[in-house]
């Protein structure tokens, strides 16, 4: 069974986070540049996340495996308490791909999003070129796929952020809570 712990960001993770995001498979999927994956860029990112969390704009967690090794990051961003929406983003270091961490991390943070934060929709997007992310999202039983026509503003938002054509998916509160209930039976 996969074990995963989500913890708050801390500068003690900066060096390892920088190293893991420097892998071209992660760097390219995230659209990061050399400055962003540098140690200083990573430290700046952690400071930014901590500031955003204080303002309730993001909820981001470092993913640690059973050996307390950093394996990735999962984030709820663009949190809107008014529309009760957020966007989710995840990256997992390449050595940990295909081991079940993505599904477990999403289950953990979506439980917070829907049960504690009271969100109604969490959007997940991927660029059309990022087939790996698209396949990972399709595997999730509570994910509604290709909903850009129903949520054009949200699709526009992620396409502006990524400067790329994207596929927009969504997790609804109702569907996720049904999944949680059925998976605990």
Report pLDDT for 185.
Answer: 55
**For the residues of 138-175, what is the DSSP string, one character each?**
HT-TTEEP--TTT-HHHHHHHHHHHTS-EEEEEEEHHH
Domains, the chain, with CATH or none = 5-183 (3.40.630.30)
Whether 31 has a pLDDT exceeding 90, the answer reads no
Question: Which tens digit of pLDDT belongs to each residue from 101-145?
Answer: 999 999 999 999 999 999 999 999 999 998 988 998 999 999 999
């Amino acid at each position: 069974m996969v074990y995963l712990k989500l913890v708050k960001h801390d500068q003690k993770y900066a060096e390892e986070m920088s190293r893991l995001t420097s892998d071209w498979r992660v760097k390219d999927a995230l659209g990061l540049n050399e400055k962003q994956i540098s140690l200083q860029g990573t430290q700046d990112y952690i400071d930014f996340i901590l500031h955003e969390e204080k303002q309730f704009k993001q909820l981001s967690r470092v993913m640690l495996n059973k050996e307390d090794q950093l394996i990735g990051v999962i984030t709820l961003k663009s949190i809107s308490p008014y529309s009760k929406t957020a966007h989710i983003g995840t990256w997992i270091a390449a050595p940990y791909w295909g081991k079940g961490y993505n599904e477990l991390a999403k289950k953990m943070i979506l439980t917070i999003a829907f049960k504690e934060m009271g969100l109604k929709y969490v959007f997940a997007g991927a660029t059309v070129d990022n087939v790996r992310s698209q396949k990972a999202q399709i595997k999730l039983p509570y994910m509604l796929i290709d909903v850009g026509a129903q949520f054009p503003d949200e699709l526009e938002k992620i396409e502006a952020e990524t400067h790329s054509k994207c596929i927009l998916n969504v997790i609804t509160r109702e569907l996720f809570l049904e999944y949680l209930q059925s998976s605990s039976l």
